[in-house]
Amino acid sequence: MTFTPHGKHLIAGEWVGGGATFRSEPAHGPAHDFSIGSVAQVDLAVTAAEDAFWNFGYSPREARAAFLNAIADEIEARAEAITEIGSQESGLPVARLQGERGRTTGQLRLFASHILKADYLDRRVDPALPDRQPAPRPEIRLMQRPIGPIAVFGASNFPLAFSTAGGDTAAALAAGCPVVVKGHPAHPGTGEIVAEAIDAARVACGLHPGVFSLIQSGNNREVGQALVQHPLIKAVGFTGSLAGGRALFDLCAARPEPIPFFGELGSVNPMFLLPTALAARGGDIGRGWAGSLSMGAGQFCTNPGIAVVIAGPEADAFVAAAKAALAQVGPQVMLTDGIAAAYRAGRDRVAGTAGVQHVLTSVCDLRNATPYLFEVTGEDWLANHTLGEEVFGPLGLIVTVRDAAQMQAIARSLQGQLTCTLHLDAADGDLARSLMPILERKAGRVLANGFPTGVEVCDAMVHGGPYPASTNFGATSVGTLSIRRFLRPVSYQNIPAGILPDDLR
Cβ pair 55, 211 in contact under 8 A: no
In three-state secondary structure terms, 125 is strand
Catalytic residue among 50, 84, 196, 264: 264
Nearest Cα residue to 503 out of 114, 123, 148:
123
Judge whether 98 and 72 are in contact, CB under 8 Å: no
Q: Which position among 177, 252, 301, 420 bears the catalytic label? A: 301
Q: Residue ranges of the alpha helices (H) in 208-312?
A: 221-229, 242-254, 275-294
CA 213 – CA 11 distance, rounded (Å): 5
Q: Enter the DSSP assignment of 137.
A: B
Q: Say what angle helices 61-77 and 167-175 make with each other, to 10 degrees.
A: 150
CB 233 within 8 A of CB 259: yes
Please report, for residues 94, 423, 426, the alpha-carbon distance to residue 276 in angstroms, rounded to integers and kept in the order given: 40, 9, 8
DSSP string across 27-92: SSS---EEEPP-HHHHHHHHHHHHHHHHHHTTS-HHHHHHHHHHHHHHHHHTHHHHHHHHHHHH--
β-strand pairing of 357-360 with 332-333: unpaired
* 264 is an active site residue: yes
How many alpha carbons fall within 13 Å on the CB side of residue 131? 0
Q: How far is CA 221 from the centre of its chain?
A: 20
- 65, 174, 471 from 62: Cα distances, Å: 5, 10, 32
Please, how many CA atoms are within 13 Å of residue 136, restricted to the half-sphere of its CB? Answer: 9
Task: Check whether the bond before 468 is cis (ω within 30° of 0).
Answer: yes
Among residues 145, 68, 163, 152, the alpha carbon closest in space to that of 110 is found at: 68
Going through 5-131 in order, the beta strands assigned E by DSSP cover: 9-11, 14-16, 21-23, 33-35, 124-126
3-state secondary structure of 6: coil
Alpha helix positions (H), 376-502: 378-383, 404-413, 429-442
Residue type, 343: Y
Q: Give the residue among 291, 235, 287 at the shortest CA–CA distance from 263.
A: 235
Output the CA torsion 35→41→44→45 (10° steps): 50
Q: How far apart are CA 242 and CA 412, in angstroms?
A: 21
Active site residues: 264, 301
